[in-house]
Amino acid sequence: RNPSQFTINPSRHNVNIPEIKRHLHRFGYLQRNNNNKNLGLPITGKPDSDTLSHVRLPRCGYPDDVDSKTTAFHTKQK
Amino acid sequence: YVYFPGRPRWTRDIPLQLTYAFSQENLTPYLTPTQIRRVFRRAFAKWALVIPVSFVETEDYEIADIKIGFFAGDHGDGEPFDGVLGTWAVDFHEQKSTVAVDLESVAVHEIGHVLGLGHSSVKDAAMYPTLKPRSKKVDLNVDDVVGVQSLYGTNPNFNISGLLASETSTNLAD
């Protein structure tokens, strides 16, 4: 999965958590209002470098949270 | 470790034997079938070491329990792949690409899915969902072992203290 649409040259000043979550939701990676901790990352409340580094890494295409899959997960074009 | 909803697992008699076969049409052109076979044999062996399950290669792709191929885009499971992101590697000394991804590490991970494990939050686990380019994660972590053994039981020849000793030594080295 390629998150490059928003991770190419991200600026710390114009990327915020709601924006990232909207993006992930739009492309089927995250349900709305999902505040779950994931990937063993610390919760910092901001788009910290650890989190952004993980978003950029190549990853397995299978969803992490299989219980929360929605129809959108299957129908949205990635 | 995490299971899929409903905790699905292979349910034949123990010791379980699963067959695997490679697609003839959907392999990757820059690795030879021999290289791919060797990598997968090693990857299956990692799991077979810890649970009473054996994996046997068969030529018959249609009836194999586990079908192995390299696919792009929509491949039939409702989760289309994005397309090419990097280059498969079986030897980083030969493959110099900065986006080379270790095939054996991915094979070990995907076999974990086939056995019923989902994505783990333990960074050192084989079932952690991300892998840095030019890195390897071919050994099972305690998290992977405990997870899969609770589904299938323990291989009578496996000794977890050896794995724990190996992990302690790796941590000390780090």
pLDDT digits (tens, 9 = 90+) for A24-74: 888 777 777 777 788 888 888 888 888 888 888 888 888 886 554 433 333
Percentage with pLDDT > 70 across chain B: 94
Q: How confident is the model at residue A5 (pLDDT cuts 50, 70, 90)?
A: very low
Q: Tell me, what's the pLDDT at A71?
A: 39
The beta-carbon neighbor of B123 closest among A1, A40, A78 is A40
CA-based torsion, B170, B89, B87, B97: positive or negative: positive
- Interface probe for A, chosen from B77, B109, B115, B121 (most Cβ of A below 10 Å), is B121
Q: Look at residue A63 and give its three-state secondary structure.
A: coil
Whether the predicted pLDDT of B36 surpasses 50: yes
CA dist A25 and B133 (Å) reads 26
Q: How far is CA B1 from CA B33, B39, B120, B125, B143, in A?
A: 32, 24, 5, 9, 6
CA dist B9 and A68 (Å) reads 21
Classify B149 in phi/psi space as left (phi over 0), alpha (psi -120 to 50) or beta: alpha
- Interface probe for A, chosen from B85, B127, B130 (most Cβ of A below 10 Å), is B130
Say yes or no: B8 contacts chain A, CB-CB below 8 A: no
Q: How confident is the model at residue A78 (pLDDT cuts 50, 70, 90)?
A: very low
Decide if B107 contacts B89 (C-beta within 8 A).
Answer: no
Q: Tell me, what's the pLDDT at A36?
A: 77
Q: Which helix (H) or strand (E) holds B168?
A: helix B160-173
Q: In the numeric block, which tokens belong to residue B31?
A: 């690795």
CA dist B30 and B3 (Å) reads 34
Decide if B133 contacts B98 (C-beta within 8 A).
Answer: yes
Chain A CB contacts of B123 below 8 Å = 39-40
Say yes or no: A39 contacts chain B, CB-CB below 8 A: yes
| A1 CA: distance to closest CA in chain B (Å) | 5
Neighbours of B108 (CB within 10 A): 26
Greater model confidence, B84 or B32: B32
Decide if A56 contacts A8 (C-beta within 8 A).
Answer: no
DSSP secondary structure letter of residue A28:
T
Q: Tell me, what's the pLDDT at A72?
A: 37
Q: How far is CA B39 from CA A2, B31, B34, B35, B142, in A?
A: 26, 11, 9, 6, 22
AA letter at B28: T
Q: In the numeric block, which tokens belong to residue B74?
A: 């929509």
ipTM over 0.85: no
| B106 CA: distance to closest CA in chain A (Å) | 8
Q: Tell me, what's the pLDDT at B173?
A: 53
Which sequence positions of B are flagged as catalytic?
110
Q: What does the pLDDT look like over B101-113, one tens digit per residue?
A: 999 999 999 999 9
The single residue listed with the structure tokens 């991915």 is: B106
Chain A CB contacts of B114 below 8 Å = none
